Amino acid sequence: MPREPRPARSGLRDALDVRKVERFRRLLVELLPHNAFYAAKLSHVADPSRFGSFAELADWPFTFKDELVAAASGGRPGNITWAVDRYVRYHQTSGTHGRPLPVFDTADDWRWWMDCWRIVLDRGGVEASDRVLVASSFGPYAGFWSGFDAVTSRGGMAIPTGGMTGIARLDLIRTLRATVLLATPSYALHLAEVAEHAKIDTRALGVRLVIVAGEPGGSVAATRGRIRSAWGGDVLDHAGATEVGPWGVGDLHGDGLDVIEEFFHPEFLSLESGGPAKPGEPAELVLTTLGRVGAPVIRYRTGDVVRPTWASAADVEAGACPWVRLDGGILGRTDDMLVIRGVNVFPQAIDEIVRGFPEVVEHRLTASTRESLDELTLEIEDHLDDPGRVARELKVRLGLRVDVRTVPAGSLPRFEGKGRRFVDHRSRPGGKS
């Protein structure tokens, strides 16, 4: 298999690579004698202490979520390193793209989660004096639990709001003078919508930072702009997965994510060739954890579509982050890509365009088949009741004709967790119906 493109060399980049190799070598040495799942997959690794370069991974097998799900049984993961009584936390994936996957973490693993989150909080300037309202029902998903614990580990006040209504959450923000909101992009916008109906000025509540996670959108310029306008504060994107960990973080000034390479090694598979992607090319993100010994993943196919770029050596030496940058954040999912009348498009691309119309409050995209041809229908809640302008913009920017229809205000679903604005009713092979 062709080798991954190498980032521009610099002293900082070289030092990072040395740390990463050492961390992964230590993980392998501890992992392989005890983890049956990876001992079987990596049986060709005779002496893990001799691992010397991530170039070696090119010949190693990938890990797929279906494998992890198939290995799990009776609520117990198949990918665990230690005896069950050593684990202290149970979480599971959302099941958005298949059957939920159970995941265990040891106390040491959870401290590793906190180390990753420390970088996220640093990017947002979150300090012990902050009061962070976590707008989530929590459930068994790791993301918001880990964010909550990261805030308390820093000495800040973490405010749980599971089961509360939007109005109750807004009242708590006002009463406790919360300075940071942690939510999905969808829910941050929905909470602002609730406030508008209740004649509450969200910009006057004192929230200086909104950390968004749980779904793409925080690195989409239009979505970031709407959240920033609604709350009057900065917006920080963050990406992670229960089975992987908190792997990505944005910044307060741009639209994109950095892979947290202190704790993760990324690879990128070209959507076109299947080989290593070139800088700026659409690619599937593959991640290897450099820690979390109790439940690691190695060469994990995330299904997330991204565009990787690397800073030049000069920029890194001048202070730029040496980690790989994902321009635009997560662009979509490999299993959500549509081919509509010969045009390749991800639902996320349509979402980005629709978010550019501030009068459109909510939307839903449906793919269907008519007379053997795929077609799209976009429903919008639009204060202007003018679907034609949205359809024209989609045609101009995507070269795609979409049937755009207005629907009554409040008729489309709202989401606290991951937004599900794409419905696939295509009946031909490749559809999900």
Decide if 174 contacts 205 (C-beta within 8 A): yes
Structure confidence by residue, pLDDT tens digits, 228-287 = 999 999 999 999 999 999 999 999 987 899 999 999 999 999 998 999 999 999 999 999
Mean pLDDT taken over the chain: 91
Task: Kindly give the pairing relationship between strand 256-259 and strand 245-249.
Answer: antiparallel
Four-CA torsion 301, 305, 307, 311, nearest 10 degrees: -40
Least confident segment among 195-199, 330-334, 340-344:
340-344
* Structural tokens at position 400: 């795609």
pTM for this entry: 0.85
Q: With pLDDT > 70 as the criterion, what percentage of the chain qualifies?
A: 94
Q: Please, what sign has the CA dihedral across residues 407, 412, 418, 423? A: negative
pLDDT the model gives residue 10 = 76
pLDDT the model gives residue 34 = 97
* Three-state DSSP state, 354: helix
Decide if 357 contacts 385 (C-beta within 8 A): no
φ, ψ for residue 327 (rounded to 5)? -65, 125
pLDDT at 6 over 80: no
pLDDT at 431 over 50: no
Structure confidence by residue, pLDDT tens digits, 345-383 = 788 888 889 988 989 999 999 988 776 667 789 999 999
Least confident segment among 90-94, 115-119, 389-393, 423-427:
423-427
Structure confidence by residue, pLDDT tens digits, 170-180 = 999 999 999 99
pLDDT at 312 over 70: yes
φ, ψ for residue 220 (rounded to 5)? -90, 125
Where residue 429 falls among pLDDT bands split at 50, 70, 90?
very low
Residue among 339, 324, 335, 334 at smallest CA distance from 398:
339
* Structural tokens at position 202: 């969200």
Helix, strand, coil distribution of the chain in percent, nearest 5: 35, 25, 40
CATH number of 1-333: 3.40.50.12780
Give the number of residues written for the chain: 433
pLDDT at 191 over 90: yes
Residue among 215, 63, 70, 208 at smallest CA distance from 129:
208
pLDDT at 330 over 70: yes
Distance separating alpha carbons of residues 312 and 88, to the nearest angstrom: 42
Mean pLDDT score, 327-356: 82
* Structural tokens at position 404: 């755009």
Where residue 421 falls among pLDDT bands split at 50, 70, 90?
confident
pLDDT at 1 over 60: no
pLDDT at 433 over 60: no
Mean pLDDT score, 124-140: 94
Quick one: CATH architecture of 337-424?
2-Layer Sandwich (3.30)
* Structural tokens at position 62: 């990938």
Pinpoint the residues of the chain covered by CATH 3.40.50.12780: 1-333
Distance separating alpha carbons of residues 131 and 110, to the nearest angstrom: 22
Q: What's the number of CA atoms in the CB half-sphere (13 Å) around residue 347?
A: 23
Least confident segment among 190-199, 288-297, 340-349:
340-349
Decide if 154 contacts 141 (C-beta within 8 A): no
Mean pLDDT score, 114-141: 95
Structure confidence by residue, pLDDT tens digits, 192-211 = 999 999 999 999 999 999 99
Structure confidence by residue, pLDDT tens digits, 381-405 = 999 999 999 999 998 888 888 899 9
Decide if 285 contacts 348 (C-beta within 8 A): no
Q: Please, what sign has the CA dihedral across residues 152, 293, 331, 16? A: positive
A 10 A CB-CB count for 371 gives 5
pLDDT the model gives residue 178 = 98
Pinpoint the residues of the chain covered by CATH 3.30.300.30: 337-424
pLDDT the model gives residue 355 = 86
pLDDT the model gives residue 371 = 62
Name residue 31's amino acid. L
A 10 A CB-CB count for 116 gives 24
